[in-house]
């Protein structure tokens, strides 16, 4: 007997069978997720006519991604970031009222447990970290009323383009700190002017960026997570409004509402903070928080691969 | 200044930016692949309203998949198999003429370099591997003409449900061998009747199957790759037509045209092969190969994670 004469199995038959295999899933949300994932994965492969060689290349790339990922490096999150998926998930999660400060990516360099610092205190632990910056403003609700006791959990890179967590020899509390707002909602701290930096590009994501003609750079920014009782937590950045790469952030995290201007100040400016010598800059940045809804404690993203 | 009043960044803005980031890709095929992948990944996340917690769970699952994958276990291929993607890629690649034997998955247990064996030789190296099976038939072209010198590269599991490559202590050539067809296109070998077995289910894929109410079982089958000069290589199975799980193969590899019947034979049947004692079965299975097109050497899938 040669062929049984049975009709050939088509690509559409295979997609239908894979989708149907989840019909018995008792958890309706998990069923929805798996069936949608299968439909979209199959839709991708069918649309491009994915070849066996391309499929093998994808398996090799995923395997390399798995093997470079460890407690200090999360290449799967880097894929999610560099394909815009992290920002999309952020946008889907945070439907904010008009006027509230927009969220953006947490990024891979957040480490919980930064030290609590007082109003105006410097978070520059290692000297020579960059041009000193006096960062100040208020935390407000959407009606403009000040929020006292809000916490700003702040971290940034220095002039060497690195976060402290990237340098094993670094002082661990360098360029990070937690600040509380005063009764009038005001906060202030001494930072440095941030600089653009490349995302880690010596792995599979870097090879993709290079092969597709994309660069790995992010525009200059300071990270903050702002928390206050009764309000939605916001994970956000302040972007230097004149930085390079604002129009081509490698992780699609730029939102124009987060642009702020570093103002150049002279050494003899009477507002110069006591801890600062020489040239300095200042940056004003108000944060507007939305009220939390029932049973909600806000939008802080915790990076599963990097945080303790 | 509170908000700049700039319009909010929407999910659709983020998808558009991620797609546009590949516009400068000099390789048009790579550009097509990346843009389609981004659209479908974002389409999935948007359609289901993927939450940050679900996104984190996906990152954790991918990380665990990377860490369980090694030279002997390829959990990314297992994901591809268990979501039907491997069979879809196979179906997209192999548009065969009517009558040609259909292809199906290679699976994770193929090891190149099986020994060449003579017509009718047994590939049962370890005793007690199962009920002996005389497997025979012819390799033909689509007009029914025999193909001499075609190679059948055959492997299967034994009654313990395992392939030799899964058991470190196994004889490495147990239940595998390469057979050539004779002048009339005929081939024959002694195997054992295969049994259903579960795909490896102690990792992330197994947890997905369990959480979604799917089982890990594959119906009983013998694997073969059939190669002949001037013809398309076909990677296929012979399925036991009365096996359990034919309607719910965990990897969606069942094609009804590949069902064949094991015929029970008596110990005193005069056709009993000399190497066989006691009860035995026989199975007839013709293979029909399609002519290769110019510059094509067929459809053998080489598993990047498992082959040497």
Predicted TM-score (pTM) of the model is 0.86
Q: What is the pLDDT of residue A2?
A: 42
CA distance A137 to A128: 25
* Range from A36-45, B101-110, B151-160, B276-285 carrying the lowest mean pLDDT: B101-110
Q: Hey, is B141 helix, strand or coil?
A: strand
Q: In this predicted model, what pLDDT tens digit does every residue of B125-147 receive, in sequence order?
A: 999 899 999 999 999 999 999 99
Could you tell me the two tokens for B271?
Answer: 């056709």
Per-residue pLDDT at B298 exceeds 50: no
Per-residue pLDDT at B72 exceeds 80: no
pLDDT-based confidence at A277, cuts 50/70/90? confident
Could you tell me the two tokens for B171?
Answer: 């004889």
Residues of chain B contacting A9 with CB distance shorter than 8 Å = 91, 102, 255-257
Q: What is the pLDDT of residue B1?
A: 42
Per-residue pLDDT at B187 exceeds 50: yes
- Partner-chain residue, chosen from A45, A49, A91, that has the shortest CB–CB distance to B9: A91
Q: Could you tell me which chain A residue has the CA closest to the CA of B298? A: A52
User: Is A252 in contact with B36 (Cβ distance < 8 A)?
Assistant: no
User: Is A46 in contact with B88 (Cβ distance < 8 A)?
Assistant: yes
* Range from A53-62, B69-78, B129-138, B141-150 carrying the lowest mean pLDDT: B69-78
* Higher local confidence (pLDDT), B5 or A243: A243
* Range from A32-36, B141-145, B147-151, B164-168 carrying the lowest mean pLDDT: B164-168
> Could you tell me how many residues make up chain A?
308
Could you tell me the two tokens for B207?
Answer: 């947890």
Say if A265 is an interface residue toward chain B (CB within 8 Å).
no
* Range from A17-26, A170-179, A268-277 carrying the lowest mean pLDDT: A268-277
Residue B98's nearest CA partner among B288, B227, B255, B235 is B288
Would you list the DSSP string of B28-46?
HHHHHHHHHHHHHHHHHHH
Q: In this predicted model, what pLDDT tens digit does every residue of A214-257 receive, in sequence order?
A: 999 999 999 999 999 999 999 999 999 999 999 999 999 999 99
User: Is B84 in contact with A17 (Cβ distance < 8 A)?
Assistant: yes
- Decide: A240 and A221 in contact? Cβ < 8 Å: yes
Per-residue pLDDT at B308 exceeds 70: no
Over residues A112-136, the mean pLDDT reads 96
User: Is B1 in contact with A284 (Cβ distance < 8 A)?
Assistant: yes
Q: In this predicted model, what pLDDT tens digit does every residue of B79-101 receive, in sequence order?
A: 999 999 999 999 998 778 889 99
Say if B210 is an interface residue toward chain A (CB within 8 Å).
no
Over residues A173-183, the mean pLDDT reads 97
pLDDT-based confidence at B302, cuts 50/70/90? very low
Phi, psi of B42 (to 5 degrees): -65, -35
Question: Is A236 exposed, middle or buried (CB count within 10 Å of its CB: 0-12, 13-18, 19+)?
Answer: buried
- Strands A132-141 and A280-284, by their bridges, are parallel
Q: Hey, is B257 helix, strand or coil?
A: helix
Top residue of B44, B95, B300 to mutate, by most chain A CBs within 10 Å, is B44
* Range from A30-34, A74-78, A151-155, A165-169 carrying the lowest mean pLDDT: A165-169
Q: What is the pLDDT of residue B303?
A: 35
Would you list the DSSP string of chain A?
-----PPPPPHHHHHHHHHHTTTT-S-HHHHHHHHHHHHHHHHHHHHHT--HHHHHHHHHHHHHHHHH-BTTB-HHHHHHHHTTHHHHHHHHH--PPTTSPPP----TT--S-PPEE-TT-B---STTSSSEEEEEEEEEETTS-B-TT-EEEEE---TTS--GGG-TTS-TTTTEEEEE--TTSEEEEEEE----EEPP-SSHHHHHHHHTT---EE--EEEEEEE-TTB--EEEEEEETT-TTTTS-TT----GGGEE-PEEE-TT-TT--TT--SSEEEEE--EEEPBPPTT----PPP-TTT--
Per-residue pLDDT at B53 exceeds 60: yes
What's CA A146's distance to the chain center, in Å?
26
Per-residue pLDDT at B299 exceeds 50: no
What is the topology classification, in CATH, of domain A97-289?
Answer: Protocatechuate 3,4-Dioxygenase, subunit A (2.60.130)
Per-residue pLDDT at B108 exceeds 50: yes
Residue A12's nearest CA partner among A37, A45, A34, A36 is A45
Could you tell me the two tokens for B286?
Answer: 């013709």
Residues of chain B contacting A89 with CB distance shorter than 8 Å = 45, 50-52, 55
Per-residue pLDDT at A304 exceeds 50: no
Share the mean pLDDT of chain B. 92
Q: In this predicted model, what pLDDT tens digit does every residue of B277-294 receive, in sequence order?
A: 889 999 999 999 999 986
- Decide: B215 and B209 in contact? Cβ < 8 Å: yes
Residues of chain B contacting A48 with CB distance shorter than 8 Å = 32-33, 36
Per-residue pLDDT at A299 exceeds 70: no
Q: What is the pLDDT of residue A296?
A: 62
Q: Which residues, in sequence order, are bridge partners of residue B192?
A: B132
- Strands B197-198 and B116-117, by their bridges, are unpaired
Class of domain B75-289: mainly beta
Residues of chain A contacting B89 with CB distance shorter than 8 Å = 45, 50-52, 55
Q: What is the pLDDT of residue B277?
A: 86
Over residues B4-8, the mean pLDDT reads 57
Q: Which residues, in sequence order, are bridge partners of residue A224?
A: A154, A236
Residues of chain A contacting B60 with CB distance shorter than 8 Å = 304
Q: What is the pLDDT of residue B294?
A: 67
Q: What is the pLDDT of residue B9?
A: 84
Q: Where are the domains of chain A?
A: 97-289
Q: What is the pLDDT of residue B296?
A: 62
Q: What is the pLDDT of residue A275?
A: 86
Question: Is B93 exposed, middle or buried (CB count within 10 Å of its CB: 0-12, 13-18, 19+)?
Answer: middle
Q: What is the pLDDT of residue B297?
A: 56
């Amino acid at each position: 007997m040669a062929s049984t004469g049975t009709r050939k199995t088509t690509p559409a038959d295979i997609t239908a069978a894979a989708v149907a295999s989840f019909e018995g899933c008792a958890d309706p949300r998990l069923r929805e997720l798996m069936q949608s994932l299968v439909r979209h994965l199959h839709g991708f492969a069918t649309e491009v006519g994915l070849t066996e060689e391309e499929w093998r290349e994808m398996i090799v790339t995923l395997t390399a991604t798995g093997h470079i990922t460890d407690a200090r490096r999360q290449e799967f999150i880097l894929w999610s970031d560099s394909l815009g998926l992290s920002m999309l998930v952020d946008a889907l999660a945070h439907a904010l009222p008009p006027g509230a400060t927009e969220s953006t990516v947490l990024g891979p360099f957040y480490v919980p447990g930064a030290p609590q610092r007082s109003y105006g205190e410097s978070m520059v632990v290692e000297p020579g970290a960059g041009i000193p910056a006096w960062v100040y403003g208020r935390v407000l609700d959407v009606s403009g009323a000040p929020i006292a006791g809000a916490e700003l959990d702040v971290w940034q890179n220095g002039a060497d383009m690195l976060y402290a967590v990237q340098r094993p020899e670094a002082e661990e509390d360098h360029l990070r700190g937690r600040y509380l707002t005063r009764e009038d909602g005001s906060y202030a701290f001494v930072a440095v002017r941030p600089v653009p930096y490349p995302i880690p590009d010596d792995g599979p994501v870097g090879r993709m960026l290079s092969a597709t003609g994309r660069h790995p750079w992010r525009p200059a920014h300071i990270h903050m997570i702002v928390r206050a009782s009764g309000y939605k937590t916001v994970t956000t950045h302040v972007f230097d409004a004149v930085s390079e790469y604002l129009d081509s952030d490698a992780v699609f995290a730029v939102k124009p509402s987060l642009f702020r201007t570093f103002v150049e100040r002279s050494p003899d400016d009477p507002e110069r903070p006591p801890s600062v010598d020489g040239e300095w800059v200042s940056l004003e940045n108000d944060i507007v928080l939305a009220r939390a809804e029932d049973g909600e404690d806000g939008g802080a993203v915790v990076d599963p691969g990097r945080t303790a």
